[in-house]
Structure 1
Amino acid sequence: MSPTRPRAAALASASLVIALTATATACGEDRGSGGADGKGRPQGVAIDWKRCEAPTAAQGAGKAPGKAWQCAKLPVPLDYGKPDGEKIELALIRSTARKKQGRIGSLVFNFGGPGGSGVAGLPSLADEYDKLHDRYDLVSFDPRGVGESAGVRCQSDKELDAAAQIDGTPDDDAELRVSLASNKAYIDACAKNSAKVLPHVDTASAARDLDRIRAALGEEKLHYFGISYGTELGAVYAHLFPKKVGRTVLDAVVDPTQDPVKGSLGQSKGFQLALGNYLKSCGTSAGAAAGCPKLGEITALLKRLDASPLPTDQGRKLTQDEAVNGIAAALYSKDTWKYLTAGLQEAMRKGTGNTLLLLFDTISGRGPDGRYNNLQAANRAISCADAEQRYTVADVKQRLPEFRAASPVFGESAAWSLLACTDWPVKGKWKTPDVRAEGSGPIVVIGNAGDPATPVAGAERMAEGLGRSVGVLLTVEGEGHGTYGVNACATKAVNAYLLEGKPPANRTTCA
């Protein structure tokens, strides 16, 4: 959440914007998106599925998935304005439906970011979609610019470590100069190492890739499950290809009406709300109250870290920025609140930052071996390819009081992160998205009341933006980022739609 690097993972997703390229209409496929044969069946490039290898460093490393998983590459145009021109390859993964009788088709996942590798992510998350796996081939992919799909490259691991130590919430002109110089060095590295792909990693192009995937899978319609930023991608697809929309679920929904300022401000409020909910829960948990921090203690800790970072066993130091992002990482799920308590206790009582630094690493894409996946680079590149807005230091300083009022913990970092796209070498395409999807089938849109990264109001606006006959709003009174597999009521409703074609009643609420 600093100008020295992009906001990590879904911290950036609510501030993204979407739209269409000038070469497509709201209701039609671009040429080359996979048409139909003479009998109306989908037609696409055949996919050569093979046994998967282990994820690469850019994807996040790890072990090769088991025999149930197959991987492939799918060629798509680098520039959809030149569909017969240069191609890039999308990395795909799938596991076929376990029950051939009653198979519905392929269910394509995007888990968000932007910047998350679906090839690395789906096998590790597949157990959560076990019931769906009986009747669907589970499919995911690395979106363009991500992982092994022409992944954006910027700085080296050592350079990223060094950048993380720079104060991203400058208190004086000297700190500001250092921060801006670091930001420029990052941008220059992206331009040097990834100039060819930077203009083409926008969300609209990724949506066109989705239609190529649909056709190559042999599906007449795209059955899709999008989470966080994946909801934005799914909404863009629905706008571009409404007649190709199959059973679609958008969970932890990005607000399509917000520009980067409003999105970042909304996230500041959302994370502050989640932090408050955590503090209340911690204080009432049996045996935990004695070790529960207070909000004032957290803000005091962050102030101390601004001046004196804490030592860690890794030899790295925990900075204020890293602590803020580490706290945010723990708020994504109620299951990780216990690690937040441990990390804050360690920092306050022992004067070491091991746990908070590990939490920061999980959200920044840094592995235990010190290697980064390309999450940060892809996150920044996609965000800046989408967003037209370019903010100045004067803009940030003017808005700082509003951000600080929204969140004494997250507000200042969120405000300074507005400079992430300043001086980016590629112009952004859009201000706010057009997600109208007239002619589409029902799209189930889920918002969680306690979601820190994508506040529930975004789901309401997405459902309205898709259209009254399209968006089906489901609201959950719970905590965390995402609801499927966490809330029994929401999970049951999603399964009924994806497996039986029965969407919930609009404006259903799950406790």
Structure 2
Amino acid sequence: MDVPLDHAAPDGPAITLALTRVPASRQPAVGTLFVNPGGPGGSGRTFAAGFPTAGLEGYDIVGWDPRGIGASTPAQCPSGAAADAYLGLDGSPDSPEEVDALAAGNAAFARACRDLTGDLIDHLSVRDTAADLDLLREALGEERLTYYGASYGTAIGAAYVALYPDRVGRLVLDAGVEPRRPPGVPQAFAFESGLAAFSAWCAASGCPLGPDASARVAALLGDLDATPLAVGDRTLTQSLATSGIVTILGSGEGGWSTLADALAAAEAGDGAPLLQAADAQTGRRPDGTHTSMLAGFTATYCADDDVRSATLAQERWADEQAVAPILGHAMGSPFLCVGWTAAPAEPLPLPATPGGEVVVIGAPGDPVTPFPWSQELAAALPGSVLVEAPGHGHVAFRRGSACVDAVVVGLLADAAVPGEGTSCA
């Protein structure tokens, strides 16, 4: 489907959105359920193809690759060796010279992304994507939006509520993203909490890292900052190792054994498992090229992020390290959008009156999106209900909680809104 490049100029140039529709398996069909996996950078088409439909068989499931991502008109950034060099920058600068090098490397990458992407780089905000979603809703003949969004997909859902409150139907926002900028609680807080939970599991289970895995992780990352580890013709840096760690942490308890083994291997001089996990996060293929994930994530994230100066990045980094001394430090200063050539979009004011039936799901143990983000998101959406989820994984639907699954299916299939204070934890 074609949509305007700039929704403020609907008769101007167009871009293309790629969609997948999985037809309802039960007739008569009751309508369309739009789904988005988050990221930003995740493919909604792939997500729709594998979306769990038990209890939702009456819906056509529709996923789309948001603008800038996947099979839709894509954002493009350097790939291959140039992307490796960018990702290999020292993200935790220890001197003014390292700060300057990080800023220069990010700015050069940003200029290359604009050169490759063109004017689309200026139209990738969550507001733009929510406007696209409304055109998809209209094209498929739905009077109101029925939607499931995970992680960054909750930001898309919240933006839709802000822009089109009278068109909101039933929305599930799973693993909420903080609606404020900057967030009250940095994301590093969730990763650090996930590391603490992993460390406690290690102590109880006798994992290879011993009784204080957090201390072993801190020591390993410090060593890698001073002396990166050779992995074939590549190098495992502190920044890449941290990317690998948080990627595995994001899978919850099911990934803890894998993380313990990968960390133990790195301590023994084998950085391949952590580097492989980092590659999965950035979409690096075995041949050295990159999928659209790296460009899609960076361009979409920077469309809304407001950190554009080294000074502000260093201030935010200090805030992150205050709540996450290990991973907050190792994840590095938030320089991602320093030097980005597109101005950040204005934050969307959220509505003062309810729109439709909205459930926000958040887990205190979520290692990727801090639980306070879900709390803030629910508080910012009038009439929405927050449901607390169990466990230490990221995203709760169809992840082992029959209670959460019943809440989601109940809302989407039957408009059954849970009561205030409902908890599945």
TM range (shorter): over 0.9
Cα distance in 2 for residues equivalent to 1:269 and 1:411 = 7
* Deviation of 1:84 (Å): 1.6
Structure 1 segment 51-450 matched on structure 2, within 5 A: 74-101=1-28, 103-123=29-49, 125-126=50-51, 129-259=52-182, 262=183, 266-285=186-205, 288=207, 294-313=213-232, 315-334=233-252, 335-348=254-267, 350-387=268-305, 389-414=306-331, 416-417=333-334, 419-430=335-346, 432-436=347-351, 438-450=353-365
Asked whether the 8 Å contact 1:403–1:415 carries over to 2, the reply is no
List gaps (5 residues or longer) in structure 2. none
Post-superposition offset of 1:346:
0.4
State the Cα distance separating 1:187 from its structure 2 match. 0.8
Question: Is 1:499 paired with 2:413?
Answer: yes
1:273 and 1:291 map into 2 onto residues whose CA distance is 18
Whole-angstrom CA distance in 2 between matches of 1:343 and 1:458: 30
The whole-number CA distance in structure 2 between the counterparts of 1:178 and 1:215 is 47
Question: In 1, are the aligned partners of 2:41 and 2:296 still within 8 Å (CA)?
Answer: yes
1:4-23 aligned within 5 A: none
Asked whether the 8 Å contact 1:292–1:341 carries over to 2, the reply is no
**Could you tell me which amino acid in structure 2 is paired with residue 494 of structure 1?**
V
Aligned to 1:80, the other structure's residue is in SS state coil
Residue correspondences, number: 423
1:401 Cα shift?
Answer: 4.1
Specify whether residues 283 and 194 from structure 1 end up closer, same or farther in structure 2 by C-alpha distance, changes over 3 A only.
Answer: same
Q: Is the 8 A contact 1:207 1:237 kept in 2?
A: yes
One-letter amino acid matched to 2:11: D
Report the Cα offset of residue 452 of structure 1.
Answer: 2.1
Determine if the alignment matches structure 1 residue 508 to structure 2 residue 425.
no
The alignment partner of 2:119 has SS state of: coil
Partner SS, residue 68 of structure 2: coil
SS in 2 for 1:208: helix
Secondary structure at 1:266 match in 2: coil
**What CA distance in whole angstroms lies between the structure 1 residues aligned with 2:118 and 2:215?**
45
Q: CA deviation at 1:199?
A: 1.2
The Cα of 1:161 is off from its aligned counterpart by 1.2
Task: Kindly indicate whether the alpha-carbon contact (under 8 Å) linking 2:155 and 2:177 is maintained by their aligned counterparts in 1.
Answer: yes
Kindly provide the amino acid, as one letter, of the partner of residue 6 in structure 2: D
Matched to 1:483, the amino acid is: A
The alpha carbon displacement at 1:140 in A equals 0.3
The question of whether the paired residues in 2 share the 8 Å contact of 1:279 and 1:294 is answered with: yes
Separation of aligned partners in 2, 1:122 and 1:309: 40
Taking the aligned partners of 2:209 and 2:10, their CA distance within structure 1 comes to: 62
Q: Does 1:476 align with 2:399?
A: no
Give the C-alpha shift of residue 371 in structure 1: 2.4
SS, match of residue 201 in structure 1: coil
* Partners of 1:218 and 1:471 in 2: CA distance: 25
* SS of match in other structure, 2:364: strand
**Cα-to-partner distance string for 1:343-381 (whole Å, 9 max, x where unaligned):** 001011x21101111111111111333321122222222
Counterpart-to-counterpart distance in 2, 1:449 and 1:316: 37
User: 2-side partners of 1:289 and 1:168: how far apart?
Assistant: 28
| Aligned residue identity for 2:320 | F
Give me the whole-angstrom Cα distance separating, in 2, the residues matched to 1:402 and 1:86.
Answer: 41
SS at match of 1:327: helix
Contact 1:247 1:442 in 2 (8 A): yes
**Distance in structure 2 (CA, Å) of the matches to 1:437 and 1:140:** 29
Residue pair 2:33, 2:59 contacting (<8 A) in 1 also: yes
Q: Offset of 1:132 from its aligned partner?
A: 4.3
The CA deviation at 1:291 is 5.4
Q: Offset of 1:278 from its aligned partner?
A: 1.0
Amino acid at match of 2:361: I
Q: Distance in 1 between matches of 2:108 and 2:42?
A: 23
Residue 300 and residue 289 in structure 1: after superposition, are their counterparts in 2 closer, same or farther (change >3 A)? closer
After superposition, the Cα gap between the structure-2 partners of 1:400 and 1:443, relative to the gap in structure 1 and judged at 3 Å, is: closer
Structure 1 residue 302, shift from structure 2 partner: 0.6
Structure 2 vs 1, CA of residues 385 and 410 (structure 1 numbering), >3 Å: closer, same or farther?
same
Change (3 A) 1:118 1:510: same
Distance, in Å, in 1 between the alignment partners of 2:119 and 2:41 is 18
Q: What is the percent sequence identity of the aligned residues? A: 36
Shift of 1:166: 2.2
Shift of 1:180: 2.1
CA shift at 1:409, angstroms?
2.1
For 1:471, the aligned partner's letter is: S
TM-score by length of 2: 0.94
SS at match of 1:284: helix
Quick check: 2:56–2:409 contact (8 Å CA) kept in 1? no
Alpha carbons 2:298, 2:336 under 8 Å: kept: yes
What is the alpha-carbon distance in structure 1 between the residues aligned to residue 105 and residue 164 of structure 2? Answer: 41
Return the alpha-carbon distance in structure 1 between the equivalents of residues 11 and 409 of structure 2.
40
Task: Supply the distance in 2 between the matched residues of 1:289 and 1:488 (Cα, whole angstroms).
Answer: 33
